[in-house]
């Protein structure tokens, strides 16, 4: 009887461990690809595009939008991400930071800060 109980416990442990692996893999985020964001700020809105490459927690890529073009860098930790770059706003260099959450494989949302100019919100979809 003890051997049967031991086997049942071992089977339960293996099943629980395998379930945890499946959940961890399902939660894995990869932002690599082309994204179109819908941005809304106090000064108006826009639809910038980001072409991103994720390598572990490191994020690199390129921005094209209202502020021209710029290389971007950032981080991904779990479902949270940050994208940062500097751009030219009417002759003045501004630092822009997007902080967001991955909602699904192809959608993100969050907030942005344009240093000295204001804040806003965004949603994004993978193309």
Residue length of the chain: 127
Does residue 70 or residue 22 have the better pLDDT? 70
Share of the chain above pLDDT 90, in %: 71
CATH T-level fold of 31-126? Lipocalin (2.40.128)
> What pTM value is reported for the model?
0.79
- Domain spans in the chain, listed from the N-terminal domain onward: 1-28, 31-126
pLDDT at 19: 47
Residue 122 CA neighbour count, 13 Å, CB half: 29
Residues 45, 61 contacting (CB under 8 angstroms): no
27 within 8 A of 78, measured Cβ to Cβ:
yes
Q: Please tell me the distance from the alpha carbon of residue 54 to that of residue 37, in angstroms, as a whole number.
A: 17
Token pair recorded at residue 44? 């108006």
More reliable by pLDDT, 69 or 16: 69
Kind plus residue range of the DSSP H or E element containing 4 = helix 2-27
Q: State pLDDT tens for residues 71-103.
A: 999 999 999 999 999 998 888 899 999 999 999
């Amino acid at each position: 009887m003890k051997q049967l109980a031991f086997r049942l416990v071992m089977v339960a442990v293996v099943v629980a461990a395998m379930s945890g692996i499946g959940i961890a893999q399902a939660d894995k985020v990869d932002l690599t690809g082309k994204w179109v964001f819908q941005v809304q700020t106090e000064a108006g809105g826009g639809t910038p595009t980001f072409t991103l490459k994720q390598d572990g927690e490191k994020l690199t890529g390129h921005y094209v939008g209202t502020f021209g073009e710029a290389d971007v860098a950032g981080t991904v930790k779990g479902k949270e991400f940050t994208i940062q770059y500097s751009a030219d706003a009417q002759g003045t260099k501004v630092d822009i930071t997007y902080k967001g959450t991955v909602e699904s494989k192809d959608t993100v949302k969050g907030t942005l800060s344009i240093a000295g100019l204001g804040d806003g919100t965004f949603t994004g979809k993978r193309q």
